[in-house]
Structure 1
Amino acid sequence: MKCVDTIARIRREHFVRGKTIKEIARELHVSRNTVRKVLRSGATAFEYEREVQPLPKLGPWRDDLDQLLTENEGRAAREQLTLIRIFEALRALGYEGGYDAVRRYARGLQRERSSSSAAFVPLSFDPGEAYQFDWSHEIVLINGVTTTVKVAHVRLCHSRMLFVRAYPRESQEMVFDAHDRAFAFFKGTCTRGIYDNMKTAVETILVGRQRAYNRRFLQMCSHYLIEPVACTPASGWEKGQVENQVGLVRERFFTPRVRAKSYEELNAWLLDQAIAYAKAHRHPEFADRTVWEAFEAERPSFVPYAGRFDGFHAVPASVSKTCLVRFDNNKYSVAASAIGRPVEIRAYADRIELRQDGRIVGDHSRCFGRGQTVFDPWHYVPVLARKPGALRNGAPFKDWVLPAGLEKVRRKLASVEDGDRQMVAILAAVLSDGLPSVEAACAETLREGVCSADVVLNILARRRDPAPPVTIMTPEALRLAVEPTADCARYDTLRRAV
């Protein structure tokens, strides 16, 4: 088929210069039928597309290839074969053709089955109307160890302001903490929250948009005055802003791989990066302002920040005879008085709180490893009253850092025969008198150069119940009517007499 420049020249020679078909065919070295076709059709370009592809090698194997492709589509996404693998399977059946024919046929079949391309409607949100929430998994180096962290993403739909924070888990208490920190940073909340159907929020997917939400998740939404909205399953475009934010944050914040000493340092750095990005980039809809400026303008439309939500995940647990409770593959100590009855574990994002009958019997920083045991030595002090020898070899007391005064007394008593028993008596006094009082009593004992539990306990008792001041009063019957006057001359007279 002739090129468009040849077609254009044919049209100019005939319609502008008035040449005949015979003259044009002779000058341009084309056939008269070609010249007639160009002039009569009025077209400026001609394209040819083969209607029927002969496929001489693939034709006999078309049914087998269709079966292989159909079976492949029925598999799960992770188990689907590539076209190379399908080509190899077809070759095993006896096909002798090339891979390109198989690839072209498969692509054409795919285009036929997808009758229409997916189309979307652009969305617009009012200030303070909605935010979107999602998780992503990123790889970082924390304290020199390669770690996969779970990153919580919050995106304001109107101003496009972003908030990201890294956690070791995607559990419910992490969801609560991420929301609280995001709303505290925004200084307010939106009226709607858009989520996918994560298990920490949605328990059951019902018909249409109806969802059975988690009870604790609904409590959080009620606290912040949020209406939760769950997307249709496998429809990420319904929260497309935060989906795009995941890719943006991964590209700009986590590439190259981030190095940090702790989660606190990593999250402080992520917050700085989010603010810097918002101040440096233009809003996609408001070209005259940055994302940060749009966020500042949106703030008055927020629902006021309601304060921190008590976001914990509660589970019951039993206490072992060694005053330990197991949670999340780790063990935490509780007060010795809690043995024999169940406790409630309240797991927060960064700490573990143990309660029994409404009373706190343990509070620890949370561990995210496996097989770790977290002790609070003060939980075992009442047990030492019966077994003072455990002070030397007890696991909770290994590397126990005491205040300076108590530590000096402990070292001095280590060389005494009954030093363990005396030290246990001093430690037991902390439970009744408080650590500052016992520390002051130990300091006073050391200043006097005496190191004994009896002295320390005596000082504490005198400070606890001070004796009333002694006042000397003369009874009226013994009071002298005439008080004697001093006369030193009488003393000199007695000396001369001697």
Structure 2
Amino acid sequence: MLVVETVAKIRRAYFVQQKPIKQICRELKVSRKVVRKVIRSEATAFQYTRAVQPAPKLGSWRGELDRMLLANASKVRRERLTLMRIYEALRGLGYEGGYDAVRRYAKGWKRERAAVAAQAFVPLSFAPGEAYQFDWSHETVLIGGTTTEIKVAHVRLCHSRMPFVRAYPRESQEMVFDAHDRAFAFFRGTCQRGIYDNMKTAVDAIFVGRERAYNRRFLQMCSHYLVEPVACTPASGWEKGQVENQVGLVRERLFTPRIRVRSYDELNALLLDGVIAYAKAHPHPEQLDRTVWQAFEAERAALVPYAGRFDGFHAVPAAVSSTCLVRFDNNRYSVTASALGRPVEVRAYAERVEIRQDGRIVGEHARGFGRNQTVFDPWHYVPVLARKPGALRNGAPFKDWVLPAALDRIRRKLAGSADGDRQMVEILTAVLRDGLSAVEAACAEALREGVHSADVVLNILARQREPTVPVTILTPESLRLRHEPVADCARYDSLRRAP
């Protein structure tokens, strides 16, 4: 095969240097036929391609090989045989040819099959309020100066093409619930059907055809919003092509160049403004006289009314440690001291963690998505301080504890006293009984009088708890005389004459 360099030398020698063909053949050691071919064709590169590859030993086995290749292609990917295994099976049936002939034939068979199956799609049309599509995408942003890979939930109304996007740290089930609720609240309604891929947070098992075993909690959410879930065929993203296109659109318009934000709240506000601005500025692909936003406003009347927030949590059991901490998702969260010694249920929401025991909430915190973080609520440990007041000074939950202004002033003043920790614990314990606002008001009253003793604060609280006796100078109705007595002085005379 002629290389490009040799072709270039022949062309320069003949057309530029005016050398005869015989001299060119002698210098470059090529035949006259080759030189004439280069000169006459004016081509700068030549490549030999065999039109027909002979396979004499494979000829009678092509039907059997076709059957084996077709059966193998119909299997799921993880169960398919390698081409070497198919060759070995063919050898077991009596084929005496080599592997290379089988490999070349299989390559051509696959190319022909792909050409036949080159996809032509039927355009879809949806009625107002008929369906929406849901999907996830992964994007990279800078949050607080740190490069972070986020998960973006995409919801798209099929009729009006109205998009909704929201960013999350993960793709877990509670994030799916939160994304649906926020999307439906934004749309002020939902559709009759929801089209999904076979994500694990929704589908537990895939059966033949369209049959699916959906996750129980996912079905509860769909029932709450009156949505019928529909799952796509595996590896068939074109069945929800609108939301697949939305992923690329949002990535190009909202995540390029790379976004820099301080928090997820700021990022989500930016994304919501971005999709609204896009919908108001771009025409609907089918209703060319309307923008996407105008088509969306017209579709709202056909949506199923928004049913309110679904209690979308992911629940797991947990144990309470001796330090009143519950471990969940590689982090620790505090609970009230009364929960010690019995199991609890952790309900994880998209943005918070709620811990319950026997139906009552024993702890509630903003959710952390790092690792090995400990989230304290100092009030959970106040009952423990009643037995161990010295822990107030060095206890981890009380580091950087921000108290109301009056309570904080009392704490600073008591810090210099010998029994200041004990007195402060008595005041804090009163919060559990009287409430934070009442104790803060009592502390403020004590400070106005120039004192900061716990006894004074507790005395003020005790007076506030006692009912106030009404002051009046009028005689109560029950003590009024109904029959005025008649004066009789003779009775006194009889008493005076008595012996």
Per the normalisation by structure 2, the TM-score is: 0.74
Change (3 A) 1:403 1:110: same
CA RMSD after TM alignment: 3.2
CA displacement at 1:116 relative to structure 2 = 3.4
Listed as ranges, the matches of 1:178-257 within 5 Å are 178-257=179-258
Mapped to 2, the partners of 1:466 and 1:189 lie a distance apart of: 54
Change (3 A) 1:318 1:160: same
Mapped to 2, the partners of 1:155 and 1:438 lie a distance apart of: 51
Show CA shifts across 1:182-215 (max 9, x none): 0000001000000011111111111211111111
CA displacement at 1:472 relative to structure 2 = 8.2
Mapped to 2, the partners of 1:178 and 1:116 lie a distance apart of: 36
Mapped to 2, the partners of 1:223 and 1:473 lie a distance apart of: 63
Mapped to 1, the partners of 2:53 and 2:127 lie a distance apart of: 56
CA displacement at 1:51 relative to structure 2 = 10
Write the letter of the residue equivalent to 2:374: T
Change (3 A) 1:452 1:292: same
Instruction: Provide runs of 4+ in structure 1 moved above 2 Å.
Output: 50-56, 73-77, 104-116, 466-476
Show CA shifts across 1:248-282 (max 9, x none): 11111111101111000000000000001111111
Mapped to 1, the partners of 2:117 and 2:169 lie a distance apart of: 42
CA displacement at 1:424 relative to structure 2 = 0.1
Write the letter of the residue equivalent to 1:259: R
Change (3 A) 1:76 1:251: farther
Match of 2:427 in 1: 426
User: SS of the residue aligned with 2:189?
Assistant: coil
Q: Aligned pair 1:53/2:51, yes or no?
A: yes
Listed as ranges, the matches of 1:465-480 within 5 Å are 465-466=466-467, 468=469
Q: Aligned pair 1:402/2:400, yes or no?
A: no
Listed as ranges, the matches of 1:71-470 within 5 Å are 110-114=110-114, 115-466=116-467, 468=469
Write the letter of the residue equivalent to 2:338: S
Mapped to 1, the partners of 2:215 and 2:109 lie a distance apart of: 44
Change (3 A) 1:226 1:55: closer
Show CA shifts across 1:342-370 (max 9, x none): 11111110001111111111110000000
User: SS of the residue aligned with 2:194?
Assistant: strand
User: SS of the residue aligned with 1:288?
Assistant: coil
User: SS of the residue aligned with 1:468?
Assistant: coil
CA displacement at 1:76 relative to structure 2 = 7.7
Mapped to 2, the partners of 1:55 and 1:210 lie a distance apart of: 45
Write the letter of the residue equivalent to 1:211: R
CA displacement at 1:473 relative to structure 2 = 9.9
Show CA shifts across 1:85-141 (max 9, x none): xxxxxxxxxxxxxxxxxxx99986653342331221111100000000000000000
Change (3 A) 1:308 1:443: same
Change (3 A) 1:470 1:125: closer
CA displacement at 1:55 relative to structure 2 = 8.4
Unaligned runs of 5+ in 1: 1-49, 57-69, 78-103, 477-498
Per the normalisation by structure 1, the TM-score is: 0.74
Mapped to 2, the partners of 1:146 and 1:51 lie a distance apart of: 50
Worse overlay, 112-121 or 466-475: 466-475
Mapped to 2, the partners of 1:422 and 1:134 lie a distance apart of: 57
Mapped to 2, the partners of 1:302 and 1:471 lie a distance apart of: 65
User: SS of the residue aligned with 2:257?
Assistant: coil
User: SS of the residue aligned with 1:360?
Assistant: strand
Write the letter of the residue equivalent to 1:193: G
Mapped to 1, the partners of 2:225 and 2:312 lie a distance apart of: 12
Unaligned runs of 5+ in 2: 1-47, 55-68, 79-103, 481-499
Mapped to 1, the partners of 2:298 and 2:316 lie a distance apart of: 42
Mapped to 1, the partners of 2:275 and 2:113 lie a distance apart of: 43
CA displacement at 1:466 relative to structure 2 = 3.9
CA displacement at 1:450 relative to structure 2 = 1.0
Change (3 A) 1:336 1:152: same
